[in-house]
Amino acid sequence: MRNRIFILLTLWMLVACDDDPASNNASNVNNLNNINNINNINNFNNPGPCDADPCTTAGLHRGTCVEIAAEPGYECRCDTGFSDTGDGCELEVWETCPTDTVCTGDVCVPPSEDGAQCLADFDCHENLTPAEGNPTTCDPTLLGGLCTGCREGEPDDCPTGFSCSPFGTCGVPCGAPEDCAFGQCAMGVGFCTAPVCASDLDCVHGTLCVDPDGDGSGFCTRVPCLDTVCSPYNPGGACDPGASCIDGACVDSCDPNPCTGLNRGTCELSQSGPVCVCDEGYVEDGQGDCVPDATADCPTGFSCLDGYCVDPAIPFQCVLDGDCGGALTCAPSLPTGVCRGCTDAVDCPVGFNRCLAGYCLKTCSAGDPCPDGMSCTNGYCGRKLCAGAADCAPGYTCVSQTDGSSNCERFTCVQ
């Protein structure tokens, strides 16, 4: 200790006694180097508790060593971007994406990611029309994204280049590991599956390994982020003042009309920019869909019966439960209404010779077509899918359904 104090005093005196500024600068550099060398020697002789990197084996993403007063003198904490759950380090929402990735749809992805499946549900619906509904949904967190909920044997449920696997997920058929740009080939089922990981070194495309059990069977996960920019993946994103985000694009004018939503094709200018509102005769319901306004008049030739506009020329239809007979009830929104609650065809009204999933169905053919507003599918009259009112028979309209599809329905009314 005395030797160290003596050396420091000597260095200070050398600096203080030199009157030449240039010489002082050179001396200062040399003196600081000497001090650093002394500190390095002291650190070597007296290493800190974190100098030996004791947290390298503490667990995935728990590699940050912090010195503490209690034994053993250090604590292994979660790395930046992760929070401690008590059982492990959980991936947080990052403000800045990793290098070579950008925040898109609330996950960090490379600007170009060939072979990826999805970032949002609509990526999974590439081969489906809006009227058909959307059976598949996107899990954007996994490496490459994953469309789930597909049906085997239904190629349109998956994006182009993918097929529905036995797991109910869209995947790439494979016969060898090199067939899989994302993941590994599960030879037993012949599909690429997500790769397992034990550390971030096992992951690619800016993903990180998330392994809650710590057994080396984790999954490569896209880093979550907060996307604020208007895009197809963030239809509520920010635009410049005076512009609105409509269908994923910033728009500042109603000319040309940017509004293309079902029954929401009317554009109005507000202080904040263009706004798409329900068309005349439609109002917004609790789900945000534009549905027929019950206070409007029924179409010509239709009568208002129990809240629905009904065409009296159709031979059989139901509006009230009593129209179905027995213990059946009427689902009145379809153009003919549908009797439901059957267990066998004998439960159904005359002329309905099939009970399917509890609904009474009528057979149809080219020579025996369905009533207006209904569609002949697989030999039975059922709902008619639509993308707009123009797809429906006169007197009926196109309405969105909870499964994402849309079909022709009766107008509602008030007696």
The model's confidence at residue 208, banded by pLDDT at 50, 70 and 90, is: very high
Buried b (16+ CB within 10 A) or exposed e, 226-238: ebeebbebbeebe
Percent of the chain with pLDDT over 70: 87
Nearest to residue 206, comparing CAs of 90, 83, 82, 113?
113
Q: pLDDT at position 338, please?
A: 93
Name the amino acid, one letter, at 334.
L
Distance between CA atoms of 143 and 184, rounded to whole angstroms?
Answer: 12
Q: pLDDT at position 47, please?
A: 74
The model's confidence at residue 3, banded by pLDDT at 50, 70 and 90, is: very low
Instruction: Return the domain boundaries, the chain.
Output: 2-45, 54-91, 102-221, 232-277, 292-410
Token output for 100:
């070579």
- Quick: pLDDT tens for 195-206: 889 999 999 888
State the DSSP string of 228-269.
-B-BTTBTT-B-STT-EEETTEEE--SSS----BTTB-EEEE
Distance between CA atoms of 174 and 88, rounded to whole angstroms?
Answer: 35
Q: Which residue has the tokens 């997500």?
A: 194
pLDDT at 334 over 90: yes
Q: pLDDT at position 131, please?
A: 63
Rg (CA), the chain: 34
Q: pLDDT at position 46, please?
A: 62
Find the range with the poorest average confidence among 47-51, 240-244, 307-311, 336-340: 47-51
- N- to C-terminal Cα distance for the chain? 100
Q: pLDDT at position 194, please?
A: 83
- Helix (DSSP H) and strand (DSSP E) numbers for the chain: 3, 31
Burial of 96 (0-12, 13-18, 19+ CB in 10 A): exposed
Nearest to residue 113, comparing CAs of 207, 194, 198, 192?
207
Find the range with the poorest average confidence among 125-139, 224-238, 241-255, 265-279: 125-139
- Taking residues 148-169, what's their average pLDDT? 91
78 Cβ neighbours under 8 A, 6+ residues apart: 61, 62, 64, 84, 89
Longest dimension (CA), the chain: 116
Distance between CA atoms of 109 and 306, rounded to whole angstroms?
Answer: 53
- Taking residues 76-80, what's their average pLDDT? 96
- Quick: pLDDT tens for 10-24: 333 333 344 444 444
Find the range with the poorest average confidence among 158-167, 183-192, 248-257: 183-192
Beta bridge partners of 275: 268
pLDDT at 35 over 70: no
Q: pLDDT at position 10, please?
A: 38
- Taking residues 175-200, what's their average pLDDT? 88
Token output for 351:
């002329």
- Quick: pLDDT tens for 263-302: 999 999 998 999 999 999 999 998 899 999 998 889 999 9
Mean pLDDT taken over the chain = 86
* 353-to-208, 343, 367 alpha-carbon distances in Å: 57, 12, 17
pLDDT at 156 over 80: yes
